[in-house]
Structure 1
Amino acid sequence: MGKTRDQNQVIITGATGMVGEGVLMQCLNSTEISRVLVVNRKPCGYTHPKLKEIIHPDFFDFSQIEDQLSGYNACFFCLGITSVGVDQETYYKMTYTLTMHVAETLSRLNKNMTFCYVSGGGTNENSRLKWAQVKGKTENDLAKLPFEQVFNFRPGFIKPLPGQKYAHKFYKYINWLFPIGRAIYPNGFCTMAELGRAMINTLSHNDERRILEGKDIIALAKE
């Protein structure tokens, strides 16, 4: 891939959400990541010697910041919205159209890039559920872009890292369920540490396009 493990330079989106924040924390603490660029609509609240942040309000138009988006070999795309209470047109625009615009821009600006997309359990373009169809179409079309690698992550329940600012408040009331769920249905339960570690470990792979369910995420985290 042209870089050693300690030279990986990563773009992260969604760092003001629970998943993106957790991935950011893992990257900042990893000796295998040398540089992190966070692209947000609002400040993420983190500072670190290897962290740079761009505040950019319009993810459908990167023309003003394109010159700052090259030179990276990975994107950990953690930006997304829930389908609950959102009309189909808005959900499609914010899930498929936005993701593909960012991905198409980055694939054009960065050769040999690995793109990791946080999708969700139950994703399937042929599903009867509209959200699953949209996520599935996004996964399938990302795999067609000229990235070196594309990994679609489908976590279920994610246990946050200690100290996360943007973890959903209800997690502190249901975290006790995690060991029970993990024992009964390990494919649907992973930790934030495992998800972040698995993303970092994709960078030691070469020329892959994969869908990662819960068990796959856990296994990749252990590599």
Structure 2
Amino acid sequence: MKVIVFGATGMVGQGVLRECLLDPGITQVLVVGRSSTGRTDAKLREIVVPNVGDLSGIEGELTGLDACFFCVGVSSAGMSEEAYRRVTYDLAVSVATTLVKTSPQMTFVFVSGGSTDSTEKGPTMWARVKGATENAILALPFAASYAVRPGFIQPLHGITSKTKLYRILYAVLAPFTPLLAAIVPDMVTNTERVGRAMIRLAREGADKRVLENKDLDALGRLERVPSIPKV
């Protein structure tokens, strides 16, 4: 598979990128973002753009792709709904709209979040915006598209969050992660399993288009094996 990753410098994106580079069934990984990941690999290529929401200048580079892993995300803390919608809905839908033109045969996997509101009418602002984003992306004519809703994600393999508050939170919770996983196993996963699950979605598909944390975690626990991409 030839894949493209957005948000590869964030915590989830770092995990997805790592798994893509390790997966023998993925031959090329294109990363697009505002800054470089700093990684080097024979099958990795990066394009740094000033505005991820405007890919018009690189559309020629976005053809022949089998999958997109959209991992861009920001905390809604302190943001108005308008501002949060701009960096969540507007950005994701702009990227997806470009890719459905350049590589309509691809599978698009959007990283959402647990408790996202598909009705777009609930009381929680970020959940409404995420729900609207999911709905818009799933309505686009890709060969396949999915929204994944991870819960608490344990960072592995030296991966860290770009958000200082989250780094502190993960550091504090790290000793309690096994206990948390034992108490609420359906709400806990890790960066490795999220990455593996998203790759498996792109390669094999699933019987549902919105996957909650327990679905994602179960999918990510399966063995990493090379297989022939969907036709």
- Given the two structures, how large is their TM-score scaled by the length of structure 2? 0.89
Using a 3 Å threshold, how does the CA distance of structure 1 residues 207 and 121 change in structure 2: closer, same or farther? Answer: closer
**How many angstroms does 1:106 deviate by?**
0.4
Deviations 1:47-86 (A, max 9, x none): 1000000000112211111111111110000001110011
Secondary structure at the residue paired with 1:65? helix
Indicate the percent of aligned positions where both proteins have the same amino acid: 44
SS at match of 2:3: strand
What is the aligned partner in structure 1 of residue 228 from structure 2? Answer: none
Give the alignment of 1:35-54 within 5 angstroms: 35-54=28-47
Unaligned runs of 5+ in 1: 1-7
Please give the residue correspondences for 1:115-154 in structure 2 after superposition, counting only pairs within 5 Å.
115-124=108-117, 125-154=120-149
* Equivalent position of 1:94 in the other structure: 87
Separation of aligned partners in 2, 1:38 and 1:110: 15
Rounded Cα–Cα distance in structure 2 between residues aligned with 1:191 and 1:207: 20
Q: Which residue of 2 aligns with 1:3?
A: none
Q: Which stretches of structure 1, 4 residues or longer, exceed 3 Å deviation after superposition?
A: 165-168, 206-209
Residue 199 of structure 1 is matched in structure 2 by 198
Report if aligned partners of 1:143, 1:209 keep a CA contact under 8 Å in 2. no
Q: CA offsets per residue over residues 156-203 of structure 1, 9 Å max, x none? A: 110112222546532233112211111111121101111000011012
Whole-Å Cα distance in 2 between the matches of residues 69 and 101 of structure 1? 14
Which range moved further: 133-142 or 208-217?
A: 208-217
Equivalent of 2:156 in 149, 156, 161: 161
Deviates more, 1:148-157 or 1:204-213: 204-213
Q: Determine the structure 2 residue equivalent to 1:74.
A: 67
Q: Post-superposition shift, 1:207?
A: 8.0
Counterpart of 1:5? none
* C-alpha distance in 1 between matches for 2:139 and 2:87: 20
Structure 1 pair 149–211 and aligned structure 2 pair: CA distance change class (3 A) = same
Contact 1:148 1:207 in 2 (8 A): no
What's the offset of the Cα at 1:220?
A: 1.3
Q: What is the alpha-carbon root mean square deviation over aligned residues?
A: 1.5
Distance 1:156 1:70 in 2: 32
Which residue in 2 is equivalent to 1:217?
216
Residue deviations 1:26-67 (CA, integer Å, cap 9, x gap): 111111211100001011111100000000011221111111
Which shows bigger deviation, 202-211 or 16-25?
202-211
For 1:64, the equivalent position in structure 2 comes to 57
Judged with a 3 Å threshold, the aligned counterparts in structure 2 of structure 1 residues 9 and 60 are, in CA distance, closer, same or farther, namely same
Contact 2:32 2:49 in 1 (8 A): yes
Question: What is the TM-score normalised by the length of structure 1?
Answer: 0.92
Kindly state the Cα deviation for residue 204 of structure 1 after the two structures are TM-superposed. 2.9
One-letter amino acid matched to 1:216: D
Q: Using the alignment, how far apart are the partners of 2:208 and 2:97 within structure 1?
A: 16
* Partner residue in 2 for 1:4: none
Q: Which residue of 2 aligns with 1:17?
A: 10
The one-letter amino acid of 1:154's match is: R
